[in-house]
Amino acid sequence: GQNIDQPTEMTATEGAIVQINCTYQTSGFNGLFWYQQHAGEAPTFLSYNVLDGLEEKGRFSSFLSRSKGYSYLLLKELQMKDSASYLCAVSDSNYQLIWGAGTKLIIKP
Amino acid sequence: EAGVAQSPRYKIIEKRQSVAFWCNPISGHATLYWYQQILGQGPKLLIQFQNNGVVDDSQLPKDRFSAERLKGVDSTLKIQPAKLEDSAVYLCASSFRSGSYNEQFFGPGTRLTVL
């Protein structure tokens, strides 16, 4: 079967750095997406990785290791507005997105 | 550029009633998706359209759910009759194309409560 695993919840302090991990087992791989979802709102695109390595975009970075079936999202200089759920999604062999359950990130002052 | 539009934003119905949701994707986006998101879970794909044709409806409970995209633009998702377990947020998303790097843009969702 296809499976995406993420921690359910994480807590971090404003101004700090947090790493949200995602491991996956899917039938085929055509890229991995990270989305941010604030409570009661729709998911919004953060990043896309299809090759191994680190993609940096401002305070957010995303890393991929295809051989390990592993990705992480790194958030630096945390702000209160970063409190949200972070969803990992893998595009499988049919280009369908397989979604994780999301990681709820709580930022404390 | 206008985003994905959905209506209504909220709906409360009794079980066994019917309900319909509407979605208008971003102009020019050929691919349209309907997702069901239960609280605390990731989105679950119900149906994917490419223009007005169905690409994937393998997880759509066809005994009670139906969807159409007649002119290849806006779409309607219907539930008839509704069950308690249908309480969820129904998200519509669109992408310029399917295939690799199909970044999906989501609408605000419809929160359905079935009593």
Q: B41: which chain A residues are within 8 Å (Cβ-Cβ)?
A: 101-102
Give CA–CA dist A5/B98, Å, rounded: 25
Name the stretches of chain A with pLDDT < 70: none
Name which of B40, B100, B105 is nearest A101 (Cβ-Cβ): B40
Q: Which residues make Cβ contacts (< 8 Å) with residue B109, sequence separation at least 6?
A: A41, A42, B6, B9, B37, B89, B90, B91, B92
Closest Cα in chain A to B91: A42
Q: A4: which chain B residues are within 8 Å (Cβ-Cβ)?
A: 42
Please give the helix or strand (H or E) that residue B7 lies within, else none: strand B5-7
Chain A contact present for B107, CB below 8 A: yes
Which of B60, B101, B111 should be substituted to probe chain A, the one whose Cβ sees the most A Cβ atoms within 10 Å? B101
pLDDT tens digits along A94-105 = 888 999 999 999
The tokens for B112 are: 């359905």
- Calculate how close chain A gets to B103, using CA atoms only, in Å: 7
Give the per-residue pLDDT at B1. 64
For B84, phi then psi, to 5°, come to: -55, -40
Q: Letter for the amino acid at B87?
A: S
Between strands B110-114 and B10-13, the pairing is: parallel
pLDDT tens digits along A58-76 = 999 999 999 999 999 999 9
